[in-house]
Amino acid sequence: MNLIPILYENDEIIVINKPSGLAVQGGENISHSLDKDFSQQIGYKIFLVHRLDKDTAGLMIVAKNPKAASKWTKLIADKSVRKEYIAICAGTLNQKKGVIKEEVVQHGETKKAVTYYEVEQEADYVCQADGNKITLSKIRLKLETGRMHQIRIHLSKQNCPIAGDDQHGNFKINKILKKELKIKKLLLASVSLTIPIDGTEKTFDIDLPEHMLNLCFNS
């Protein structure tokens, strides 16, 4: 079991950097999960206050006890906690900065979903096999709502799906990117987290995970 990096800790919470491929919560046919593995790592049970998709890497908060979990779940719900994500997508967006407000369907129910985005970089990759061009876009995102797979669904509906997304992405392009650029994971990470601590705001930032680096973008 690889150690999960800790960025910050106080009496209530721990801020961690979750690796891609690790489920947040255990269940049937899940041999490794954040709640189980991290509890073993630090020697006591932790409590979840929010989630990331299994294949999404990056910053998360976990609580040390049920009281803290209740408090921080409410802080996240009332938007006192702010998160930013980076996605690398196969395609381009018509507007380089804006907001996506398309509803999403979850468990048969249509729900409001709002995602703010800004395109930071674009780069063209010419496929070695056939000479065709694929444009990759590096996009920074902020969520107003927190629906399941919201970022993945919203970007897919804009014809700019996240590279490596095997559920909402472009499967043909994913196959090409896997062969040409060795992209085997979802290219989405939670890279910035701002939380209220001791009457002020504290922001944590991380670099992109290794599997999202060096994809023909200038540093």
CA max distance for the chain: 58
pLDDT tier, 213 (very low <50, low <70, confident <90, very high otherwise): confident
What mean pLDDT do residues 120-135 have?
Answer: 89
Question: Which two three-digit tokens encode residue 66?
Answer: 């049920």
Q: According to the model, what pLDDT value does residue 179 have? A: 92
- Active-site residue, selected from the candidate residues 11, 35, 37, 53: 53
Q: According to the model, what pLDDT value does residue 27 have? A: 75
pLDDT digits (tens, 9 = 90+) for 189-208: 999 999 999 999 999 999 99
Q: Buried b / exposed e across 117-153, counting CB within 10 Å, b at 16+?
A: bebeebeebeeeeeeeebebbbbbbbbeeebebbbbb
Give the bridge partners for 88, in sequence order.
138
What phi and psi values does residue 45 have, to the nearest 5 degrees?
A: -70, 135
Contact call for residues 49 and 76 (beta carbons, < 8 A):
yes
35 is catalytic: no
Contact call for residues 35 and 59 (beta carbons, < 8 A):
no
Four-CA torsion 174, 54, 191, 140, nearest 10 degrees: 40
Q: What percent of the chain clears pLDDT 70, i.e. is strictly above it?
A: 98
Q: According to the model, what pLDDT value does residue 159 have? A: 95
Sign of CA dihedral 183, 188, 190, 191: positive
- The pTM score is 0.93
What phi and psi values does residue 152 have, to the nearest 5 degrees?
A: -65, -45
Three-state DSSP class for 210?
A: helix
Q: According to the model, what pLDDT value does residue 218 have? A: 56
87, 194, 177, 175: which is closest to 138 by C-alpha? 87
Please give the Cα distance from 18 to 16 (Å, whole number): 6
pLDDT digits (tens, 9 = 90+) for 50-95: 999 999 999 999 999 999 999 999 999 999 999 999 999 999 999 9
pLDDT at 165 over 90: yes
Residue with tokens 């990096």: 5
204, 198, 165, 208: which is closest to 60 by C-alpha? 204
Looking only at the bridges linking them, the beta strands covering 188-197 and 200-205 are antiparallel
Instruction: Tell which wins on pLDDT, 128 or 160.
Output: 160
Question: How far does Cα 219 stand from its chain's mean position?
Answer: 21
pLDDT at 26 over 80: no
